Amino acid sequence: MQIPNWSIIISALKKWPLGKKIFFGNLFLLILPLLILAAFMLPAPFTPANPPLPQGPEAGPLAGSLPIRFLPGLLVLVGTLLSLCAAFFLSRWLTAPIRKFAEQFDAPGKNGPPAYNGGCETTFLMETLAQYVELLRTSREKLGTEVQIRKSAENFLQIYKNIFDNANEGIFITDANAKILAINKAFSTITGYEPAEVIGQNPRILNSKRHNAFFYERMWHDLGEKGAWEGEIWNTRKDGSIFPEWLSINAIRNERKETTYFFATFYEIGELKKREKQITFMAYHDMLTRLPNRAYLENKLTKNLAALPAEGGKLAVFYIDLDNFKNVNDVFGHNQGDELLIQVTQRFTSALSENDTLCRPGGDEFILLMEHIENESIVYLMANRLLAVLKKPFLVDRKKIFVNASIGISIYPDDGATGLDLIRSADTAMHKAKREGKNRFFLFTKGMHEVIYNTFRIENGIRLGLKNREFVVFYQPKINIQTRKTSSLEALIRWKKGDELVPPNAFIPIAEESSLIDDLCLFVMEETCAFQSLMKQQRVAVPVSVNISPRQFHNADFVDIVEDLLGRYQVAPEYLEFEITETTAMKDVEHTLKIMHRIREMGILFSIDDFGTGYSSLGYLNKMPVSTLKIDKQFVHDLEEHGGIVATIIAISQQMHLNVVAEGVETEEQLLRLGAMGCQEAQGYFFSRPLPGDQLLAYLLAETAKGRLEQT
């Protein structure tokens, strides 16, 4: 016999629905007592102790209807039927709520447990509940994450709110119809409006009426097209004051690209604009006098010229340069110089009308633009007025200072087509005024540009010439009229350009306007010292004088350079002399005197060149360490006419115990007359033209040989 597999049976039983289990359980419980009862009621087997029941009349009351032995079976049958019914209804009644409960899970969520398929309700419920518990757990986890996300979103919202509230920029948000929905604190601070006063309003309440309809049209156009607009805008505060701000507006759109909100930020730019104005002012003005500067003038000129009528429109440019202003700075210091410039500005300004613009391009220069020139006489009047306002002395730090100016004037259209041309022409004319003696004005003429071009050409030529050793020094003897012997020489520079010998008058004045004269002077002194060595070797050494320009006295190294040269070439100081003109001597007298004394202390003698042509003061001449006066050749040339001057110069030199040399002696007659007048020395073509070093050396050697011959 096969052993039944209990575990399969048990698990199959487990799967039974609860109703079945209760049904069979009840059935079993109900039928069991019935069966026991029936068993008791069953007739005992026919044993001697138990004989079969009597049949017939002695069988009792039942004996006649049903055989008594079927009675237990009948009872069991009826009992079973009743039990069946009771078990069925009991099982239905007991399991009804559980089934109902299980059936509630009949339509679970998509990912939920499977529907109840009629099996064991409790198993189904347990499995389902387990799955629900799992579902609940994952849901709770999800919820946790969700809560976390919500929390951080809330945090972010709080941060955004803080940023919104505390931003330095004013912020406002409007709906699509530009109705203000929210503003931040800075909005209130900047505009003065509290939230209650603006929320629900249109930002138009800030309108300053500074911008026209077109401005706003463009703004809305940009917002529509690009979804953003930013720019400078003037708005009004609650108190009515207007202010500039930088405004950025962004349209916020939904997925359908419809604008739902506008987000706008702005900040005040009043301070910025003020600074911007300051910077622009600084870029176009001179900070000392607060006058417009050159850049401003050039701009204005360009604009004005463009606006002038094609025919007949005229304007004038004045280039004004203060004379000798450098001296004021040197003597009184830069602060006083600045003060003087401010006062000069005030005086000039007082002479102007509203059509005139005075600028200061820098230093001691001013440029005046005069518009609407009807005739040139206005220009002359203005120039005279400008010079006239400078006539009275200036009072700076309780000191009286006199200042003049040189003015050059150019007129449009004759003197230049552009602003720059006009300024350049006026500058050229101003330089002409300087050259002609300062404190005056000149109108520009075409020829002036040629002079400038020439100057430029010569300056460059000198620079190159020095490099290429194109310069040479010639020497001209000065003769003792009594002995007719060479007493000294004068060094005279020449520029050898190919075969041509350029005379110094063609380039020295130009070199004197720049530092080129320093280089030329150094060259002549070096050549002279080298020539001294040659003369010394040949035993014919005589002193040589070198012409010194006024600029040398302002060269801080001049004395050192001279000292160095004497040392390097081993030249005794008494063999070097300096010739300075009266004008040089009288220029910045105090300073010149100081330098002259230092040089004289070194043992070098001074001559005053071209004496009688300048304006030297005899008082100062007395203070100067001068040993010789040179009579200018123009007086010698016409002794008949200038005899008186020559005699006076000779008398002065005798009075002051000075040596006197006559220049430009070309004839014996001149020589004799000068000798008779008491002149000690003569220089001129009569004896010798200026000669190159080797020829002059030969001249000296010949003279010495002749002298020796005469002695024997």
Segment contacting Ca ion by CB under 5 A, of 46-54, 361-369, 426-434, 662-670: 662-670
Nearer to ligand C2E, 372 or 633 (CB): 633
Q: Does 504 bind ligand C2E (CB under 6 A)?
A: yes
Q: Are 416 and 424 in contact (CB under 8 A)?
A: yes
Query: How many CA atoms lie within 13 Å of 393's alpha carbon, on the beta-carbon side?
Result: 9
Nearer to ligand C2E, 426 or 493 (CB): 493
Q: Does 500 bind ligand C2E (CB under 6 A)?
A: no
Name the binder of 503 from ligand C2E, Ca ion, none, CB < 5-8 A by kind. Answer: ligand C2E
Question: 576: phi > 0 → left, psi -120 to 50 → alpha, else beta; which?
Answer: beta
Residues 199-258 that bind Ca ion (CB under 5 A): none
Cα–Cα distance, 411 to 313 (Å, whole number): 10
Count residues binding ligand C2E (CB under 6 A). Answer: 23
Q: Give me the torsion for CA of 232, 236, 242, 245, rounded to 10°.
A: -20
Q: Which phi and psi angles does 686 have, rounded to 5°?
A: -60, -35
Site string for ligand C2E, 78-107 (x = CB under 6 A): ------------------------------
Q: Are 263 and 171 in contact (CB under 8 A)?
A: yes
Coil, strand, or helix at residue 686? Answer: coil
Q: Does 703 bind Ca ion (CB under 5 A)?
A: no
Q: What crossing angle do the helices spanning 419-435 and 294-307 adopt, rounded to 10°? A: 120
Nearer to Ca ion, 192 or 509 (CB): 509
Pick the binder of ligand C2E from 493, 544, 562, 571 (CB under 6 A).
Answer: 493
Cα–Cα–Cα angle for 616, 619, 623, rounded to 5 degrees: 100
Nearer to ligand C2E, 289 or 683 (CB): 683
Segment contacting ligand C2E by CB under 6 A, of 13-21, 430-438, 446-454, 679-687: 679-687
Q: Does 607 bind ligand C2E (CB under 6 A)?
A: no
Q: Does 690 bind ligand C2E (CB under 6 A)?
A: yes
Nearer to ligand C2E, 129 or 472 (CB): 472
Segment contacting Ca ion by CB under 5 A, of 128-136, 326-334, 545-553, 560-568: 545-553
Nearer to Ca ion, 343 or 634 (CB): 634
We find the least distance from the C-beta atom of residue 634 to ligand C2E, in angstroms, to be: 9
We find the least distance from the C-beta atom of residue 504 to ligand C2E, in angstroms, to be: 4
Pick the binder of Ca ion from 339, 518, 527, 579 (CB under 5 A).
Answer: 579
We find the least distance from the C-beta atom of residue 482 to ligand C2E, in angstroms, to be: 20
Cα–Cα distance, 148 to 319 (Å, whole number): 80
Nearer to ligand C2E, 427 or 610 (CB): 610
Q: Does 492 bind ligand C2E (CB under 6 A)?
A: yes
Cβ-Cβ contacts under 8 Å for 709 (sequence gap 6 or more):
none
Pick the binder of ligand C2E from 664, 682, 700, 703 (CB under 6 A).
Answer: 664
We find the least distance from the C-beta atom of residue 473 to Ca ion, in angstroms, to be: 13
Question: 494: phi > 0 → left, psi -120 to 50 → alpha, else beta; which?
Answer: beta
Cα–Cα distance, 195 to 224 (Å, whole number): 27
From the list 511, 595, 606, 508, the residue with the least C-alpha distance to 554 is: 595
State the CB neighbour count (10 A cutoff) for residue 314. Answer: 19
Q: Does 633 bind ligand C2E (CB under 6 A)?
A: yes
CA 279 to chain CA centroid, Å, is: 10
Note every long-range contact of 25-32, with CB atoms under 8 Å and residues 24 or more positions apart, other chains counting.
Answer: 25/87, 26/83, 26/86, 26/87, 26/90, 26/91, 27/83, 27/84, 27/87, 30/79, 30/82, 30/83, 30/86, 30/87, 31/76, 31/79, 31/80, 31/83
Segment contacting Ca ion by CB under 5 A, of 83-91, 111-119, 540-548, 690-698: 540-548
Instruction: State in Å, rounded, how far the first CA of the chain is from the last one.
Output: 186
Name the binder of 524 from Ca ion, ligand C2E, none, CB < 5-8 A by kind. Answer: ligand C2E
Segment contacting ligand C2E by CB under 6 A, of 119-127, 211-219, 381-389, 490-498: 490-498
We find the least distance from the C-beta atom of residue 547 to Ca ion, in angstroms, to be: 5
What is the DSSP secondary structure assignment for residue 596, as one 8-state letter? H
We find the least distance from the C-beta atom of residue 356 to ligand C2E, in angstroms, to be: 42
- Strand 471-480 and strand 691-692: the pairing is antiparallel
Pick the binder of Ca ion from 268, 321, 364, 609 (CB under 5 A).
Answer: 609
Cα–Cα distance, 445 to 442 (Å, whole number): 9
The closest residue (CB) to ligand C2E is 684
Q: What is the helix (H) or strand (E) element at residue 477, kind and residue range? A: strand 471-480
Cα–Cα distance, 630 to 684 (Å, whole number): 12
Name the binder of 463 from Ca ion, ligand C2E, none, CB < 5-8 A by kind. Answer: none
We find the least distance from the C-beta atom of residue 305 to ligand C2E, in angstroms, to be: 44
Please identify which residue in the block is written with the tokens 């409960």. 101
Name the binder of 674 from Ca ion, ligand C2E, none, CB < 5-8 A by kind. Answer: none
Q: Are 578 and 599 in contact (CB under 8 A)?
A: yes
Cα–Cα distance, 605 to 658 (Å, whole number): 11
Q: Does 408 bind ligand C2E (CB under 6 A)?
A: no
Nearer to ligand C2E, 443 or 520 (CB): 520
Count residues binding Ca ion (CB under 5 A). Answer: 5
Residues 460-479 that bind ligand C2E (CB under 6 A): 476
Nearer to Ca ion, 76 or 492 (CB): 492
Coil, strand, or helix at residue 422? Answer: helix
Q: Does 503 bind ligand C2E (CB under 6 A)?
A: yes
For binding to Ca ion (CB under 5 A), which residues are involved? 547, 579, 609-610, 663
Question: Which residue ranges make up the site for ligand C2E (CB under 6 A)?
Answer: 476, 491-493, 503-505, 508, 524, 547, 549, 579, 609-610, 633, 663-666, 683-685, 690
